[in-house]
Structure 1
Amino acid sequence: MTFDVEDRLAATLRTRADREVDADALLGGSLARGRRRQRHRRIGMALAGAGVAGVTTAALAAVPLVLSDGGGGASIGSAETPASPPGRIGQIGPDAEPPVRGAYPVPALAAQGVPGAADAPEKVGREPGNIHFRVEKLSLPVQGVTWAVQPDGVEEMTLSITGADGGPATGRVQLAAGKVPEPESSGPARGEPGGPVVTTEKPVHIGDRTGTLSVIEESGFTSYEVRWSPADGLEAIVGGFELDEADVIALAHAVRWDQAVRCAAPLQLTALPQGAGIKGCTVRFSTEDITWVPESVLTLNGPGAAMKVEMGGPFIPSASFSASPGDLPDRGWVGDGDQTLQIYSLDGVPVRLTPTGYPKDVAEMVANGLRMPAGTDPNKPETWPTSLTG
């Protein structure tokens, strides 16, 4: 079994849309918009992995989250918070209706006592368990969010929201020491229009800093990107799909640099390959009430090898499991060439381990060392351990 983000998203679009849709074409369109095709392909793939691109969302939660908004405001579901639209993230076509503007929190796990980028710029991208910024409430409804520290040192937040026209929209914040690196090219994106790109730049003020607003026009689509230095030695980029200029600038103004938020997982790693460490962390939340456990992805890097450890998210049964359904935890090597170790349930959490350069027995060792601390509820991220290792 593979977990290709495009296939997963296409399946989700077909099963959750009100009518049959051309999911591949819609996904291709969402991947196509942007100034730099490689950068926006990376955005689109990140959104697809988080279940937030295209028609609707594969929201990664079993229950609506009741978390801090990352900015000291009300929790999701409080009386002073406007309710999120039921069922789906926005509508497509004539059914689309503009959302109610309000003050919608952004789900986050507070990192107690951890300074933000303004006070500790040297820590940006160097702590896989911490993202050194937070985001205040937004005026558009928020249904899903992914927080991540990438192995290349980029910290980012990706939002799934209802756009101003009632359709699905996405936004993203990136932060890195020096410059946010350009993503590597991975070839043409499916459905990419390939027309000429016209970029117009103008100055914009974000707080007491001056940045650049890029207006990007390509094949009839217009998108916006704000780039500035929120603190000496750091660069931030804010952009999105199906967001107008005012909403992209508003998102940039909503970012705060005085506190960090936490990247967490429901299970702790107690056994690591020799010489390996955690280099990246991703945690995905949703405010929708559906049947998936909140998802975390840890990236392990060692000498000449790496391993992806996915905890939570969807589970798709496979006939190639080596154990019978009555054996728990049910596990087996799945995918092309048995590339992924799938565990159906480890203390209620589905787990997938994909080694690159490591033999299978090392992945088994890491899997056998996963532990859930007492008091942890896999469906309630606020109960997850504060350390990724134990």
Structure 2
Amino acid sequence: MTDLDQRIASVLRERAEGEIDTRRLLRVSRAQGRRRQLRRRAATGTALTLAGILGLVGVTGTDFTGLPGRLPWIATTPTVAPPVPPRADGVPGAAQRPDLVGGDPRVLHLGLDTSRARYLGWNIYGWTQTESIRFSVGGGQPVVVEVSRSAQRLNDAAIDGPGSQRITVPPLAFDGGVQPLGTTGGLAKGWQPVPGVYARVTMLVGDRAALERAVDVLRWDEARRCEAPLRLTTLPKDATLTDCDVDVSAVPNGLRAQYTIGRGESAAMYVRLMYGAQIAGSRSDGNRTVDGRPAYLSPDGATLELLDIPKAHLVAAFGWLWPGIDPAKGYVSFTEADATTVLAGAQVPKDLSDPETWD
């Protein structure tokens, strides 16, 4: 769990019996957000979550607009069909087209044998052109597989350990060898599943047998949509989807999906869906409409939220520039009109707690 997650969780625990101090949450998240995004986009640091997740309890009428990080949900034993990213029809997997790996933020070019493994999350980072899946095998400890067409990008990427600890993975030769993760008791393996594609599997706890079982459930002959359950069907002019990051480890009780939209070298918009069965209420004082639906523009004019999704928050944070950009140099960021375009085309399943309705 990152430092941002710990701060948010601390606020939630302090206010578990009452209303959340959303201004404090926003101050914390915005102060940390740009630094975290810079780390995530740096070629030397794609963070992948392997740590356990904290629970959200007693939240009523919570406003999470503007949060750039990951909200911690409590992972529970699923009572519905396990979540699976829908197939990307007509798209070949890494085995057939290794040159496509990491090239499309909407598509994962690998999958899992779901008879033996459960998806916990998946993401694609356009900056590093890296795809990853977090999963468990037989109810065991979480495992992360990362794939890229560059061995160096994988070797440069650290992983998240317990708390806010950052763990550097020893450089791998990608020859199938297994190496320990320092003193954590974890293991890492690197190999080439197909020529031109490099893969790294890491786990914080487990032995070589568990690691090999995890490798064995990977499927390289299929492609799946990263955009699930939330799908963005319309983007502003001259904008592109750059990142896709989904956490389904707490389904059916909660989930998070966050996508990053970029424009040129300066503008960034973060579109985030958060669902929680424990969210008892939501904002009702809309001051905008999006395609006839009630919406709320934050007082600082930087976030726009749709208000008619039960037990969920769908927010577009649009007043951002990429880290290191000087706004005084005339760079143009996204606008409320751009956020309205994105939210108007956002598709959300009727039942976020049931993965069978996501496709």
The TM-score, its normalising length taken from structure 1, stands at: 0.60
Identify the residue that residue 90 of structure 2 maps to in structure 1.
113
Corresponding position of 1:131: 108
| Counterpart in the other structure of 1:331 | 296
1:253 to 190, 193, 216: 216
2:145 maps to 173
* d(CA) in 1 for partners of 2:102, 2:282: 36
Alignment pair present for 1:212 and 2:177: yes
With over 3 angstroms needed to count, the CA separation of the structure-2 counterparts of 1:9 and 1:286, relative to structure 1, is same
Cα gap change, 1:340 to 1:368, in 2 (>3 Å): closer
Distance, in Å, in 2 between the alignment partners of 1:154 and 1:176 is: 5
Separation in structure 2 between the aligned mates of residue 47 and residue 363 of structure 1, nearest angstrom? 36
Q: Distance in 2 between matches of 1:108 and 1:267?
A: 11
Establish whether residue 313 from structure 1 lines up as the match of residue 255 from structure 2. Answer: no
Residue 250 to residue 190, structure 1, CA distance change in 2 (3 Å)? closer
Task: Give yes or no for contact 1:215–1:222 (8 Å, CA) kept in 2.
Answer: yes
Q: 17, 29, 43: which is aligned to 2:48?
A: 43
- Contact conserved, 1:125 with 1:177, CA < 8 A, in 2? yes
Cα-to-partner distance string for 1:112-137 (whole Å, 9 max, x where unaligned): 33221010111111122221111125
Structure 2: gaps spanning 5 or more residues: 17-42, 57-71, 322-332
Distance 1:349 1:163, change over 3 A: closer
Aligned-partner Cα distance in 2 for 1:191–1:277 = 31
2:336 alignment counterpart: 361
Counterpart-to-counterpart distance in 2, 1:371 and 1:127? 19
CA gap of 1:176–1:193, structure 2 versus 1, over 3 A, is closer
Post-superposition CA distance 1:308-329 (Å, at most 9, x none): 11124346978896649xx963
- 1:228–1:150: structure 2 CA closer, same or farther, 3 Å change rule? same
CA deviation profile, 1:282-302 (whole Å, cap 9, x unmatched): 333247542x3x432222111
Aligned to 2:242: 279
The equivalent of 2:5 in structure 1 is 5
Cα pair distance change 1:172/1:11, threshold 3 Å: farther
SS where residue 112 of structure 1 aligns? coil
Per-residue CA shift, 1:168-218, capped at 9, x if unaligned? x321010111223456789x9966499xx99698x9xxxxx9412111333
Of 299, 303, 308, the residue aligned with 1:345 is 308
Asked if structure 1 preserves the Cα contact closer than 8 Å seen for 2:158 and 2:169, the reply is: no
* Aligned ranges 1:40-189 → 2 under 5 Å: 42-44=47-49, 58-59=74-75, 64-66=79-81, 76=82, 107-137=84-114, 142=118, 145-152=120-127, 153-159=129-135, 169-179=141-151, 180-181=153-154
Q: Residue 49 of structure 2: SS of its match in structure 1? A: helix
Aligned match of 2:263: 302
Q: What letter corresponds to residue 250 of structure 1 in structure 2?
A: R
Root-mean-square deviation over aligned CA pairs: 4.7
How far apart are residue 226 of structure 1 and its match? 0.4
Q: Structure 1 residues 124, 114: closer, same or farther in 2, change over 3 A?
A: same
Change (3 A) 1:268 1:145: closer
**Number of residue equivalences:** 296
Indicate how the Cα distance of structure 1 residues 339 and 233 shifts in structure 2: closer, same or farther if over 3 A, else same: same
Letter of the 2:180 counterpart:
V
Query: Closer, same or farther in 2 for the Cα pair 1:129/1:120, shift >3 Å?
Result: same
Summarize deviations over 1:237-258 as a string: whole Å, max 9, x none: 0011222222122211221211
CA shift digits 1:319-345 (9 cap, x unpaired): 896649xx96342327xx564333333
CA pair 250-8 structure 1, distance change in 2 beyond 3 A: farther
**Structure 1 45/275 Cα, relative in aligned 2: closer, same or farther at 3 Å?**
farther
Deviation at 1:158, TM superposition (A): 1.1
The 1:120/1:137 distance shift into structure 2, 3 A limit, reads same
> Which residue in 1 is equivalent to 2:26?
none
**Aligned twin of 2:204:** 241
In percent, how many aligned pairs have the same letter? 20
